[in-house]
């Protein structure tokens, strides 16, 4: 029997997740929550540009909670812990790219209680936070002894992220430098990325005295730059760099960093991705050292990324592919540390 899955929100991640559920041999799409009134009652197939699927989207949260389903892929623009707790209490496992990657005790407690009440599991995953910031550094550290440093770093052109609300309101592109530097953005991002750093510290066994230091830098446009939120005018934020370092004494032992640029041509300071271009990097210093570059999660062109960004698809697919493992896990919040190896599935034309 297939696992019955509900998709919660149909932005970029949600739409890709629906495609992934439809292709996954162990999953069945049975419901869909939407925020937008314009999508209420519409067939989910139509929402993703396909033939009707016979599953209708709804804005009715109570109706979704009352549905019979095994799991919810929860991908709204911002997390709502009360909604997640209600989904868990209704007896549905939750996989999400919006948080709970490795929550601290205070944040975890109410959701642990909801998991226990519903007899289900909550799992946070994605590419960053998610794979790049914690899973991959930890995974590659297994090929080294005496680890002194791990790093996960993103170098992305944000002109390809076609989520204007996230780009404008969460990432603060187009704001003044002063607005961006004084916005809640660093706190919001740190909510996820500090969990990544703590997971690396704990799993690798670094001293619990490590201090977490944060860097935030912005670059502004020198001329108007076309972007998913319209032109970014000269003097407005067009690139940002965030870094979370765990430091023991004077040594950085864990670094997570993101370099988000609206192109490389009209920026002050004149930041670039360097000759290697867009990429994700994983580094482990130990015996031996290890250096990994991941390509493919960034599109070939801005136009292709705006149409379908592979990083967003990858985020959705790790959520989708996690569902069978999360449904089989013990009730509670589960992290990469607790789950077995998560794998994708063969193309439907090549599968059993
Ligand atoms: N961990 C990772 O690696 C990773 C990677 C990418 C994204 N993310 C996160 O995943 C989430 C979804 O990203 P996305 O790219 O899919 O964003 P998106 O394209 O902007 O979609 C967000 C969706 O949220 C719903 N929504 C809008 N306003 C809302 C509100 N006020 N309350 C509740 N829901 C609302 C809408 O759903 P409907 O259209 O159905 O109405 C919207 O389409 C974001 O939080 C993003 O930061 C994480």
**Do 107 and 248 sit in the same domain of this protein?**
no
Ligand 1 atom closest to Cα of residue 125: 1
Whether residue 151 sits in one domain with residue 25: no
The answer to the question of residue 115 being in a domain is yes
Residue to mutate (ligand 1; options 7, 8, 9; most atoms within 8 A of CB)? 9
- Least-confidence region, from 37-51, 58-72, 177-191, 316-330: 177-191
Q: Are 253 and 210 in contact (CB under 8 A)?
A: yes
What's the Cα-to-Cα distance from 28 to each of 8, 10, 106, rounded to whole Å? 14, 16, 34
Cβ 97 under 6 angstroms from ligand 1:
yes
| Helices and strands of the chain, counted as H and E runs | 11, 14
Residue 351 covered by a domain: no
In this predicted structure, what is the pLDDT of residue 352? Answer: 83
Helical residues (DSSP H) of the chain, grouped into ranges? 12-23, 44-47, 61-66, 81-89, 105-118, 136-141, 164-165, 177-181, 185-204, 302-307, 310-328
Residues 86 and 209 both lie in one domain: no
* C-beta of residue 219 within 8 angstroms of C-beta of residue 267: yes
pLDDT at 55 over 90: yes
* pLDDT tens-digit readout, 157-191: 999 999 998 899 888 999 999 999 999 889 999 99
- Whether the per-residue pLDDT at 351 is higher than 90: the answer is no
DSSP states along 221-275: ESS-B--BTBPBPTTSEEEEEEEEEEEETTEEEEEEEEEEES-SSSEES-----T
Q: Are residues 136 and 201 in the same domain?
A: yes
Q: Is 164 exposed, middle or buried (0-12, 13-18, 19+ CB in 10 A)?
A: middle
Q: What is the pLDDT of residues 256-294, one digit of tens each?
A: 999 999 999 999 999 999 999 999 999 999 999 999 999
Query: Is the same domain home to 25 and 66?
Result: yes
Chain centroid, CA 282 distance in Å: 17
- Distance CA(24)–CA(317), nearest Å, equals 10
Residues 210 and 321 in one domain: no
The reply to whether ligand 1 has any atom less than 6 angstroms from the CB of 240 is: no
Q: What average pLDDT does the segment 34-58 reach?
A: 98
Going by C-alpha positions, the residue among 121, 119, 230 that lies closest to residue 168 is 230
Q: Is 352 within a domain?
A: no
Q: Is residue 77 within 8 Å of residue 165, measured between CB atoms?
A: yes
Looking up residue 252, the CATH number of its domain turns out to be 3.30.360
Please indicate, yes or no, whether residues 38 and 101 belong to a single structural domain of this protein. yes
Mean confidence (pLDDT) of the chain: 97
Instruction: Tell whether the model's pLDDT for residue 208 goes beyond 90.
Output: no
Q: Are residues 156 and 291 in the same domain?
A: yes
Instruction: Kindly give the distance from the C-alpha atom of residue 245 to the centroid of ligand 1, in angstroms, as a whole number.
Output: 27
Q: Is residue 350 part of a domain?
A: no
Decide: 44 in ligand 1 pocket, CB within 6 A: no
Beta pairing class for 57-58 and 251-261: unpaired
Name the 3-class secondary structure at 162: coil
Query: Are 271 and 241 contacting, i.e. CB atoms less than 8 angstroms apart?
Result: yes
pLDDT greater than 90 at residue 59: yes
Q: Is 111 part of a structural domain of the chain?
A: yes
In what side-by-side order are the strands of the sheet with 237-248? 267-268, 211-221, 237-248, 251-261, 145-157, 279-287, 290-294
CATH number, residue 11: 3.40.50.720
Supply the pLDDT for residue 170. 84
Atom of ligand 1 nearest to the CA of 312: 6
For residue 293, the SS3 value is strand
Q: Provide CB contacts within 8 A for 22, sequence distance 6+.
A: 29, 53
Q: How far is CA 34 from CA 66, 135, 312, 337, in A?
A: 15, 30, 18, 31
324 falls within a domain: yes
User: Is the minimum distance from the CB of 77 to ligand 1 under 6 angstroms?
Assistant: yes
Is the distance from the beta carbon of residue 32 to the nearest atom of ligand 1 less than 6 Å?
Answer: no
Q: Is residue 13 domain-shared with residue 161, that is, in the same domain?
A: no
Domain shared by 119 and 135, yes or no: no
The pTM of the whole model exceeds 0.95: yes
Q: Which residues pair with 4 in a beta bridge?
A: 28
Question: Which residue CA neighbors atom 19 of ligand 1 most closely?
Answer: 11
For 221-240, what is each residue's pLDDT tens digit? 999 999 999 999 999 999 99
306 found inside a domain? no
Domain count, the chain: 2
Same domain, 71 and 209: no
Of the three residues 249, 269, 296, the one that is the final residue of a domain is 296
Please indicate, yes or no, if residue 98 is contained in any of the structural domains.
yes
Structural domain range at position 284 = 131-296
In this structure, the answer to whether residues 290 and 147 fall within a common structural domain is yes
């Amino acid at each position: 029997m297939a696992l019955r899955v509900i998709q919660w929100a149909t932005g970029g991640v949600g739409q890709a997740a629906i495609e992934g559920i439809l292709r996954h041999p162990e999953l069945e799409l049975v419901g869909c929550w939407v925020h937008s009134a314009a999508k209420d009652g519409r067939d989910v197939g139509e929402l993703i540009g396909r033939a009707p699927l016979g599953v209708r989207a709804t804005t009715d949260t109570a109706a979704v909670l009352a549905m019979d389903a095994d799991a919810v892929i929860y991908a709204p623009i911002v997390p709502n812990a009360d909604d997640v707790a209600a989904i868990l209490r209704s007896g549905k496992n939750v996989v999400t790219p919006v948080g709970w990657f490795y929550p601290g005790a205070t944040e975890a407690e109410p959701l642990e209680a909801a998991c226990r009440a519903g007899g289900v599991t909550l799992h946070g995953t994605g590419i960053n936070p998610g794979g790049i910031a914690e899973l991959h550094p930890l995974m590659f550290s297994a090929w080294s002894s005496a680890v002194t440093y791990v790093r996960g770093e993103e170098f992305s052109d944000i002109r390809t992220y076609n989520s204007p609300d996230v780009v404008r309101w969460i990432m603060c592109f187009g704001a003044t430098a002063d607005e961006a530097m004084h916005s809640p953005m660093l706190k919001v991002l740190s909510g996820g990325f500090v969990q990544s750093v703590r997971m690396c510290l704990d799993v690798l066994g670094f001293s619990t005295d490590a201090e977490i230091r944060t860097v935030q830098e912005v670059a502004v446009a020198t001329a108007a730059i076309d972007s998913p939120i319209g032109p970014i005018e000269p003097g407005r934020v067009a690139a940002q760099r965030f870094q979370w370092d765990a430091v023991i004494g004077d040594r950085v032992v864990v670094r997570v960093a993101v370099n988000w640029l609206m192109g490389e041509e009209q920026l002050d300071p004149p930041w670039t991705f360097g000759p290697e271009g867009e990429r994700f990097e994983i580094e482990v210093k130990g015996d031996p050292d290890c250096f990994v570059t991941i390509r493919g999660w960034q599109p070939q062109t801005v136009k292709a990324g705006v149409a379908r960004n592979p990083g967003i698809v990858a985020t959705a697919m790790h959520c989708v592919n996690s569902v069978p493992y999360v449904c089989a896990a013990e009730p509670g919040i589960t992290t990469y540390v607790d789950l077995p190896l998560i794998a994708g599935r063969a193309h439907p034309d090549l599968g059993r």
